[in-house]
Amino acid sequence: MNFKKLLLKAHFRIAPYIHNTAVLTSKTINTICNSQLYFKCENFQKMGAFKMRGATNALLQLTPNQKEKGVVTHSSGNFAQAVALAARNIGIKAYIVMPKNAPQVKKEAVIGYGGIVIESDSTPIAREQKAEEVMKETGATFVHPSNDIPVIIGQGTATMELLNLYPDLEAVITPVGGGGLLAGTALAVHFFGKNCQTFAGEPDEANDAYRSLKSGKIESNKTTNTIADGLRTQLGNNNFPIIQKYVSAIICVSEEEIIRAMKLIWERLKIVVEPSSAVAFAALLKEKESFKNKKIGVILSGGNVDLTNLPF
């Protein structure tokens, strides 16, 4: 596959539907890290997370026949809202399979963006089965939150924008959960960076990607007991080979390190980011000696957080 061409096409395809988000810096944070950090603020993205990029890129490439029948996905997180909003933007139906026990506020957010919520039991298998049922009944096309190539490519556009502004970045770091953002970022760094490397931060409590890179095959999470709720998912067969080929290292961080990094972002950048977003910065803080004196892009993945239930 010509990933470079796919990235360039996606960049222009989705531009009218997304924000080219701001990049923030902080002298205090640079002093703490002894490096120059450029925070790409996907918390300012439409619906509040980078997921809007991949969802939009996937939906815009549907055939007219597919568009008529709509799309289906299963997610209780940001991808649910992203598909709902991207679908509304281009005038198609979106069926979102969500677990019965998902917070009401998340269901309402999807409905607010025009999505059709379909409830399932909360196990991964039950959710997949329900999605298949919907596909059969409606003819809707399934879109995977992190493993479909158009989704992966769409997520890479955040880093294309970042490198466009700061072409001499020496590293870009993202959080890793399902692997879509990390794979897309690694491709963008490979094709549009100059001597630039890709890194990821991952919670100790959901370190499937770290162990997968070590073992050379997709490993399962042993626990998902992390505050970084967007990172409890597993790698997929499409994004894993890309991650193997193009990612330099994955750095694991504790819950305490995630919360400390999150608080520092809120205090110093004066922005609201979700715990998953803080994982990449937490990894940088942990390994700051390795990144000393470097210019580094940090992808802040999203800002959808329950303000009444903060960890500090």
Nearest to a second copy of 20, 244 (CB atom): 20
Distance between CA 246 and CA 229 in Å, rounded?
25
What type of residue sits at position 85? L
Q: Among this protein's residues, is 194 annotated catalytic?
A: no
Q: Which region among 36-44, 136-144, 193-201, 248-256 touches a second copy (by CB under 8 A)?
A: 36-44
Short-list 151, 141, 201, 131, CA closest to 14: 151
Among 15, 22, 111, 165, binds a second copy (CB under 8 A): 22
The reply to whether 136 sits near a second copy by the rule CB under 8 A is no
Binding of a second copy at residue 310 (CB under 8 A)? Answer: yes
Instruction: Report if residue 44 touches a second copy, rule: CB under 8 A.
Output: yes
SS3 234: coil
Among residues 76, 146, 277, 301, which one is catalytic? 76
Kindly tell me which residue out of 125, 195, 270, 293 binds a second copy, with binding defined by CB under 8 A. 270
Query: Residue 171: beta bridge partners?
Result: 197, 296
Exactly one of 6, 7, 10, 24 binds a second copy (CB under 8 A); which one?
24
Chain length of the chain: 312
Applying CB under 8 A, does 37 fall inside the site for a second copy? no
* Secondary structure element (H or E) that encloses residue 97, with its range: strand 94-99
> Which residues, at least 6 apart from 283, have a Cβ–Cβ distance to it below 8 Å?
173, 199, 200, 201, 202, 251, 252, 253
Taking the C-alpha atoms of residue 284 and residue 37, their distance in angstroms, rounded to an integer, is: 10
Total binding residues toward a second copy, as defined by CB under 8 A: 18
How distant, in Å, are the alpha carbons of 23, 37, 173, 231, 235 from that of 169? 13, 9, 11, 25, 26
227 binds a second copy (CB under 8 A): no
Segment interacting with a second copy, rule: CB under 8 A, options 37-45, 115-123, 152-160, 246-254 = 37-45
Measure the CA–CA gap between 63 and 83, rounded to whole angstroms.
16
| Residue 63 makes contact with a second copy by CB under 8 A | no
- State yes or no: is 51 an active-site residue: yes
Residue closer to a second copy by CB (options 89, 198) is 89
Query: Contact between 303 and a second copy (CB under 8 A)?
Result: yes
Contact call for residue 215 and a second copy (CB under 8 A): no
Nearer to a second copy, 72 or 272 (CB): 272
Q: How far is the CB of 266 from a second copy (least distance, A)?
A: 5
Instruction: Name which position in 7, 17, 36, 43 contacts a second copy (CB under 8 A).
Output: 43
Alpha carbon distance 97, 182 (integer Å):
24
Question: Exactly one of 35, 40, 46, 51 is catalytic; which is it?
Answer: 51
Give the residue carrying structure tokens 């991650």: 243
Q: Does residue number 143 form part of the binding site for a second copy (CB under 8 A)? A: no
CA distance 202 to 178: 11
Question: Dihedral, CA atoms, 104, 105, 110, 113, nearest 10 degrees?
Answer: 140
Rounded to a whole number of angstroms, the minimum distance from the CB of residue 122 to a second copy is 26
Residues that bind a second copy (CB under 8 A): 22, 24, 41, 43-44, 48, 263, 266-267, 270-273, 303, 307-308, 310, 312
Write out the catalytic residue numbers. 51, 76
